[in-house]
Amino acid sequence: MAGIDTPAGYTRLERVRTGTDADVYQAWDERAGRWAMLRLFHRFVSGRAEEAAFATHVAAWVGLRRNTSIVPVRSGGITATGRPWLALDRVEGRLLAEMLRDDPPSPADAVDLVIRLADALAWAHALRPPMVHGPIRTEHVIVDPSGVPLLTDFATPRPAGAPTPTPSGDVTELAALLFRALTGNSWPGRGEPDDLVVASWPGLTGLFDEVLTPVPAIESMAIFATRLRQVRHAADAAVPIPAAPPGETTPASPTETHKPTGYGGRRPLSMLSFMALLRRHR
């Protein structure tokens, strides 16, 4: 596939996936003599102002390659018909979506993976201008052969008046990705079975209560990364609990086992459980 709607200098295009914002192709970079991944956006830019905004973001995207947990962007531009494009390094590895489906990581590895992504996003948010990812899906994470996760597909400039991704939105998105990696389900999950899996990590239920809400209490990715490290360290100090086999649940961590309190000797529902319950009875 080559023609007027593809960037000059790239040949042997093969589409590898279609996304909401763009199609992704494997392509041969004739100038560099290597394979690249082309992200060809669906929308068209209109006017010099949008062209300038996209050029500014291309420069910022190229700067992101300094972080080893972000897939490097090498170049970008606009096709002859007005479609923005980006050329990224082709990274060897597997999409997190494929891993969760075929060979899920251990709970500890999942937490470590998300901590690394949180560090990368905290770094990106601290740039000037801040680089915000936007919706974070499992297909936006590539895990290389050594187990290092790399984030790709950062948000593009939005037309005037369109909603703009925010750093606090990235916090919520990454927390939801962790919930899925641990439970195998999208938030809010299956209710009590998933709540028990989350509760096996000391402090994680409370952290999810703070960020998986319409008005998150934590808006900083750096703070989220710090809190997640505290959860990880607390789990290291506790008795290890194996992941639950499919169809089974994992008991609560011994460090969180205590005499039930509250009305009738029942433990009060966490906000995570309460919101999931409301969702099921709507």
Sign of the alpha-carbon dihedral angle for 10, 11, 17, 20: positive
Name the burial class of residue 101, with classes exposed (0-12), middle (13-18) and buried (19+) by CB atoms within 10 angstroms of its CB.
exposed
Domain assignments of the chain as residue spans, ordered by start: 10-89, 94-158+165-280
**Left if phi > 0, otherwise alpha if psi is -120 to 50, otherwise beta: which for 232?**
alpha
Q: Which amino acid is at 133?
A: H
Q: What is the pLDDT of residue 239?
A: 55
CATH C-level class of 10-89: alpha beta
Q: What is the pLDDT of residue 264?
A: 33
pTM above 0.85, yes or no: no
Q: What is the pLDDT along the chain (282 residues), one digit of tens a residue?
A: 455 578 989 999 999 988 888 899 999 999 999 999 999 998 888 888 888 888 988 998 899 989 999 999 999 999 988 999 999 999 999 999 999 999 999 999 999 999 999 999 999 999 988 999 999 999 999 999 999 999 999 988 777 777 889 999 999 999 999 999 999 999 999 899 999 999 999 999 999 999 999 889 999 999 999 999 999 999 988 755 555 555 554 444 444 434 333 323 333 445 554 444 444 444
Inter-residue contact 133 to 121 (CB < 8 Å): yes
Q: What is the pLDDT of residue 46?
A: 83
Residues 6+ away with beta carbon under 8 Å from 121:
133, 151, 170, 174, 221
Residues 6+ away with beta carbon under 8 Å from 228:
111, 114, 115, 118, 178, 207
Name the burial class of residue 229, with classes exposed (0-12), middle (13-18) and buried (19+) by CB atoms within 10 angstroms of its CB.
middle
User: 243-251: which pairs have CB atoms within 8 A and are 24 or more residues apart?
Assistant: 243/106, 243/107, 244/197, 249/192, 249/193, 249/196, 249/197, 250/196, 250/197, 250/200, 251/196, 251/200
The CATH number, out of the four listed (3.30.2350.10, 3.40.50.720, 2.120.10.30, 1.10.510.10), of the domain defined by the range 94-158+165-280? 1.10.510.10
Q: What is the DSSP letter of 70?
A: B
